[in-house]
Structure 1
Amino acid sequence: MENTNIKLMLKLQSWDPLGYGIGFYETENIDVLQAVHELNDRSVLAKRIQSIYDNSFEELIPLSECDIMAQELLQIANTEICDL
């Protein structure tokens, strides 16, 4: 699980959805990491990601971008589970 969290955080830290700079979204990354562990549905996770950033910055990331990130995060999480 720890290795999975590291991989997920590295993926999130490399994402700059609002143009504020890499590494700017520490609190949001933690919230998204928790959501990845709670949700296994890509579209639901994408909406949660969008909501997390909207709540913090009052800016909507296009759902299509959130969907791509949700897919990538779930792929990392599910690959790690399958490797156990």
Structure 2
Amino acid sequence: MDINEMNRKAITIMKYWDPFAIGSESYGQEIGNVITQLQVLDDPSDLAKTIQMNYEYSFGKWIPLEQCVDISYKLIALKFKAKHII
């Protein structure tokens, strides 16, 4: 899997997540920011905190860290699969 395919799959995962139940089309900027951070972060906890802060900043609503950790593990697993680390 190349980086572009990984990014497409990560975007699909993020769109499916919809933490505020407002429709996946509402998260374009936030998803882009998360995908950018996915390129540089390898720790699920760090990525989860980034996700939480990013969405809270944009929407003014707090997401429990546990929900962010769940999605971050999916994204990190995808990244490691793309790198053939797993």
Superposition CA RMSD, Å: 1.1
1:62 & 1:23 partners in 2: Cα distance?
22
TM norm structure 2: 0.91
Which residue identity lines up with residue 19 of structure 1 in the other structure? A
Q: Measure how far apart 1:21 and its partner are.
A: 1.5
What is aligned with 2:46?
44
The percentage of aligned residue pairs carrying the same residue is: 30
Q: Measure how far apart 1:60 and its partner are.
A: 0.7
User: Higher RCO, 1 or 2 (CA under 8 Å, sep at least 6)?
Assistant: 2
- Unmatched segments (≥5 aa) in structure 2: none
TM norm structure 1: 0.93
Which residue identity lines up with residue 25 of structure 2 in the other structure? G
Is structure 2 residue 8 aligned with structure 1 residue 11?
Answer: no
Q: Are the aligned partners of 1:14 and 1:23 in contact in 2 as well (CA < 8 Å)? A: no
1:61 & 1:69 partners in 2: Cα distance?
12
- Unmatched segments (≥5 aa) in structure 1: none
2:49 & 2:4 partners in 1: Cα distance?
25
What is aligned with 1:57?
59
Moved over 6 A (4+): none
What is aligned with 2:76?
74
2:35 & 2:6 partners in 1: Cα distance?
10
